[in-house]
Amino acid sequence: MAIPTNIHTLLSGNVVEWARIEFKESWKPEASLKTVTAFANDIDNWGGGYLVIGVEDDNGRPKFPLKGLQLNEVDGILKDLLNKCKLIEPDYLPIVAPVDYDAHTKLIVVWCPGGAVRPYRSPATFSYDKGKAVASKDAVYWIRKMSSTIRPSSQETNDLFALANQIPFDDRICHQADMTALNITLIKAYLKEIDSALFEQADTLEFNRLCINLGISNSMPEFMRPKNVGLLFFSMEPDKFIPCAQIDVVEFPEGIGGDRIVEKTFTGPLHQQLRAALLYIRNTVIKEVVIKHPDRAEADRFFNYPLAAIEESLANAVYHKAYDIREPIEVRIERDKIEILSFPGPDRSITEEALKSFNVIVRRYRNRRIGDFLKELHLTEGRNTGIKKILNALKKNGSPPPEFITDADHSFFITRLFIRAGFDEKQHHDEREAELNSSVSGSIAAAEPRSPEQNAHPGADNLIRDKGRSLKFKDRPTIQSLQKVLRQVVGVLKTHPSAG
């Protein structure tokens, strides 16, 4: 999440006040400070939220034309906001920016990321003496529920203190890396994609300050270090600091007991590896069937697997994986199903019965900061919509319902998608085998540069092709075996009489 996000995006017609956005017509310390405190407590790990001052709400939606703020009152609001935020315990300051909605409308956007030392509390009430707000001495914890700022129940207060006992892994500082591990090109590409106003400042703003504004580093000038979330999205090699931050796609064309395994590993920035893995699956796994009928013009069309279901399943795995566990996300593609495996399992509040009935409501998210960036990039929503999207995509394609699997200890999570009935799996298998054969033959032909002597003997080409046709897939189930076979072919080539 970047500040200031394009204000037109925040105020688009379909935006409604909810857990992460609140509109205020004017600066009112009592109400607004409660909201800032609630966003800082971030009890549901949404990643904090936005307070937009200068916008009148109409049943939760911004009321147009916007009222905005008078230019001569902006400075006073900023000063009072700073003074009132000093009443929050422990110390917490949001990131504040005055922005121009248009040439005549000025607003103040207050970004309140989830605090690192929550829980926070602020005065319960304010009294007014000659127009000046005076805070009461009793401080109260505040939380955000749906579109309301409320006092927590006793159980919710306990939850707040439980959250204070741990900082999520993605929001922790990585002491093994320094600021040079963050790549300015990746940062600028991200800011450009999400249409952030920070993009215009990226070339002139001091690099450390840019990282602080993005929340991808700590803010101690004498000891600046990137956070894990910064490395995951904005380092060219995040796996150097966070091992197994990768996606492995493993194909079993002949089934689990077959001799062939095709492996592909995707590394790099988290959002790039997610997109690359999905592109690979779309190009090599997803197939469409068209069935024409003699009695009508319309043909039946369906896919072996709907891509939307795979996209949502894999994005959820990237979102919810524990990156301090040294296990990659694995996509297993078998002849009749696809399994997406990640570690650990879902939150303990989610029962196996709930998974079987697809009635899953997540109260907290493991990686709130990772979720922030994925949401900004429109790669996930993080609003308990994932399972519904998967079910809708499968139903629309005519596919069987999925299976969501974990164990009693919630140590892993598997999303299992089944192939659509009526899909000619044998035809797909034959097509995939032809692709693999073509790839292997091309690799063999390019295994070693041709010498002048080999160019003088056309028979060498036939030898390579003949040898390539005689190789059995069961003799090379791995990349290492393939390399071994290639070396053998080259050795035979060198000793063949026609090569001398």
Residue ranges in 114-251 assigned as alpha helix (H): 154-164, 184-193, 198-201, 207-214, 228-234
Has residue 249 got a pLDDT over 80? yes
120 has pLDDT over 50: yes
Cα 11 to Cα 16, 104, 213, distances in angstroms: 9, 16, 21
The total of structural domains in the chain comes to: 4
Same domain flag for 35 and 146: yes
Q: Does a structural domain hold residue 2?
A: no
With a cut of 80, say whether residue 220 has pLDDT above it: no
CATH number at residue 52: 3.30.950
Give residue 439's pLDDT.
58
Determine the Cα–Cα distance for residues 85 and 51; give it in Å rounded to an integer. Answer: 13
pLDDT of residue 361: 73
Residues 430 and 396 in one domain: no
**Do 447 and 408 lie in a common domain?**
no
Tell me, yes or no, whether 1 lies in a domain.
no
Sheet holding 105-112, edge to edge: 21-24, 49-53, 105-112, 95-102
In this structure, the answer to whether residues 412 and 263 fall within a common structural domain is yes
In this prediction, residue 436 has a pLDDT band, given cuts at 50, 70 and 90, of low
Contact criterion met (CB below 8 Å) for 262 and 436: yes
Q: Is the pLDDT of residue 365 over 50?
A: yes
Q: Is residue 27 in a domain?
A: yes
Amino acid 12: pLDDT: 64
How far is 343 from 333, CA to CA, in rounded Å?
18
What is the share, in percent, of the chain residues with pLDDT greater than 70? 78
Distance CA 309, CA 496 (A): 52
pLDDT band at 427 (very low <50, low <70, confident <90, very high): low
pLDDT in tens, 289-301: 888 888 887 888 8
Among 165, 189, 223, identify where a domain stops: 165
> 366 and 302: one domain?
yes
Q: Are residues 186 and 255 in the same domain?
A: no
**What pLDDT was estimated at residue 477?**
44
**Is there a single domain that holds both residue 330 and residue 412?**
yes
C-beta pairs of 254-260 under 8 Å, 24+ apart in sequence: 254/335, 255/334, 255/335, 256/334, 259/473, 259/474, 259/477, 260/436, 260/473, 260/474, 260/477
Please report which confidence band the pLDDT of residue 323 belongs to, taking 50, 70 and 90 as the band edges: very high
Q: Do the domain assignments include residue 172?
A: no
Give domain status of residue 171, yes or no.
Answer: no
Domain limit, last residue, from 212, 238, 264: 238
Residue 313's contacts (CB-CB under 8 Å, 6 or more residues apart) are: 340, 386, 390, 402, 415, 417
**What backbone torsions phi and psi does residue 448 show, to the nearest 5 degrees?**
-145, 140
Which of 238, 256, 272 is the last residue in one of the domains?
238
Q: How far is CA 433 from CA 95, 368, 442, 476, 482, in A?
A: 55, 42, 14, 14, 15
Under the banding of pLDDT at 50, 70 and 90, the label for residue 397 is very high
For residues 398 and 251, membership in a common domain is answered with yes
Q: Is 384 a member of any domain?
A: yes
Which of 79-88, 116-125, 247-256, 437-446 is least confident?
Answer: 437-446
Given a cut of 70, is residue 328 above it in pLDDT? yes
pLDDT score recorded for residue 441: 57
Q: Specify whether 221 is located in the same domain as 201.
A: yes
- Claim to verify: residue 54 and residue 146 sit in the same structural domain: yes
Domain-located, residue 334: yes
| Highest mean pLDDT: which range of 97-106, 107-116, 207-216, 470-479 | 207-216
pTM: 0.62
pLDDT top residue among 2 and 236: 236
Q: State the residue for tokens 């700073």.
A: 82
**Which residues 6+ apart lie within 8 Å of 448 measured at CB?**
490, 493
Query: How does DSSP assign 364-388, residue by residue?
Result: --S-HHHHHHHHHTTS---SS-HHH
Whether residue 462 has pLDDT greater than 50? no
CB atoms within 10 A of CB 435: 12
Residue 97 bridge partners (DSSP): 109
85 and 118 within one domain: yes
Q: Mean pLDDT across the chain, nearest whole number? A: 82
Bridge partners (DSSP) of residue 333 are 251, 338
Q: What is the dihedral of CA 259, 261, 262, 264, to 10 degrees?
A: -160
Cα 139 to the center of its chain, rounded Å: 36
Angle at 289 between CA 286 and CA 294, to 5 degrees: 170
In the prediction, which pLDDT does 116 show? 72
The CATH number of the domain holding residue 274 is 3.30.565.60
* pLDDT tens readout for residues 150-193: 999 998 888 888 776 677 889 888 988 999 999 999 999 999 99
**Same domain? 229 vs 311:** no
| H-type alpha helices, 262-421 | 270-284, 307-320, 352-356, 368-376, 386-397
| 107 within a domain of the structure (yes/no) | yes
Domain hosting 129: range is: 7-165
Does 339 or 439 have the greater pLDDT score?
339
The reported pLDDT for the residue numbered 260 is 87
